Amino acid sequence: MVSVDGTSHIRDVAQYAVVARRTTYAPTKNENAQAFVVGPHVSLTGILKVNGEIRIEGRLEADIRCHTLLVAPEAQIDGVIVADRIEIYGVVKGEVYCNRVVVKDNSRVEAELNYRSLELEPGAFFEGRSRRYSNPIEISPAFD
Amino acid sequence: MFNQQRTETDTLPEPKNDPVPLHAEAMVSGSAAPLSTTGSVIGSDLMILGERLQIISQDVLQIDGDVQGDVSGRRVTIGPDGSVTGTISSEHVDVFGGIRGAVRAGEVVLHPSSHVDGEIVHQSLSVAAGASFEGRVRRAKDKDELTPDLNPQARKPEDKAPLVTSLLSESTEHPH
């Protein structure tokens, strides 16, 4: 589409300006070498605490506390998530307390998002509530 | 006169090189919103207040001032200095400024400088890092649910009280 009127011009600018360019899930091997991985055929219930990165590819009904959380496209998490950073390609339900929340294209989030910085790509499904805090981790519920 | 279609549009080739417009960089920083070359602008020196106020634009509307009331338009842009307290209904809403109330639109884009406090009903929502959003989000199941009603005659203000006034009347109706 060629933009001749101001209308579509703004639209184009907006799309590029938002930065929320749709990206696909492609974790590099090296980057995640240290990550704790919950594989695609794993289903887990309980509390998961890792002082580092977690990559979820399976199904979890769990409360998670970690530094970085990567939710793969086929993954599903149901629970309370407390982390410095979360990147969601899959499904997340429950409550999220993270400094930086990135919700990717084609993901599904039905949750309460408590964040300091939120980024949502246009193809993401998000229903729920959102609230900004200077320190969202501070207000997160304590795990047993 | 704003909507004159240029007939040569169809024959123009697609731009193939750098797709990022020149002033996109300025917008990422949230320092400037694009000024549309068509449509209406509510300037930054303007403040529009009123009970059951409705602003309806048939085309593109840019708000750089402060509006207390409901806004409808085919496309609505809230500039970095603009703010709306009320409900915004549109096909596409770009937010650089502030909104307190509700947004009902097919596409909602919250830019880094935006500050939204309220409910968003959408079909597509994108939020840039740096934007502040507090409130509920719901995705409309039906696109028709979000089609803005740009016909003032068809409106019955009694049926759908604007959010601002309903909030105001709530506080006055319950003195006990």
Distance from CA of A47 to the nearest CA of B (A): 28
If you average pLDDT over residues B158-173, what whole number do you get?
50
pLDDT level of residue B164 (50, 70, 90 thresholds)? low
In a domain, A109, yes or no: yes
How many contacts (CB atoms, under 8 Å) link A and B? 110
Torsion angle, alpha carbons of A95, A33, A37, A119, to 10 = 20
Tally of residues, chain B: 176
Amino acid in the structure at residue A82: V
pLDDT level of residue A143 (50, 70, 90 thresholds)? confident
In a domain, A5, yes or no: no
Closest residue in B to A108 (Cα) is: B139
In a domain, A9, yes or no: no
Taking the CA atoms of B157, B162, B165 and B168 in sequence, report the sign of the dihedral they define.
Answer: positive
**pLDDT tens digits, A15-59:** 444 444 566 776 655 555 578 898 898 888 999 999 999 999 999
The tally of domains found in chain A comes to 1
If you average pLDDT over residues B20-44, what whole number do you get?
56
In a domain, A82, yes or no: yes
Q: Could you report the predicted ipTM of this complex, rounded to two decimals?
A: 0.76
Distance from CA of B67 to the nearest CA of A (A): 22
pLDDT at B84 over 70: yes
In a domain, A12, yes or no: no
pLDDT level of residue A142 (50, 70, 90 thresholds)? confident
Q: Render B36-86 in DSSP notation, one character per residue.
A: PSSSEEE-TT-EE--TT-EEEEEEEEEE-SEEESEEEEEEEEE-TT-EEEE
Predicted pLDDT at B148: 85
In a domain, A95, yes or no: yes
**pLDDT tens digits, B39-49:** 899 999 999 99
Phi and psi at A8, nearest 5°, equal -70, -20
pLDDT at B108 over 80: yes
Closest residue in B to A123 (Cα) is: B124
If you average pLDDT over residues A124-144, what whole number do you get?
91
What the block records as the tokens of A140 is 């997160």
pLDDT at B155 over 80: no
Please identify which residue in the block is written with the tokens 């740009």: B150
In a domain, A17, yes or no: no
Among partner residues B24, B75, B134, which is closest to A17 by beta-carbon distance? B24
Distance from CA of A141 to the nearest CA of B (A): 20
Q: Which of A79-88, B10-19, B75-84 is the least confident region?
A: B10-19
Among partner residues A5, A18, A131, which is closest to B126 by beta-carbon distance? A18
Expressed as residue numbers, the domain containing A103 is 23-132
Q: Do the beta carbons of residue B95 and residue B120 sit within 8 Å?
A: no
Residues in B closer than 8 angstroms to A131, CB to CB, are: 134
**Strand-strand pairing, B132-139 and A125-132:** antiparallel
Sequence-distant (≥ 6) Cβ neighbours of residue B143 within 8 angstroms = B106, B123
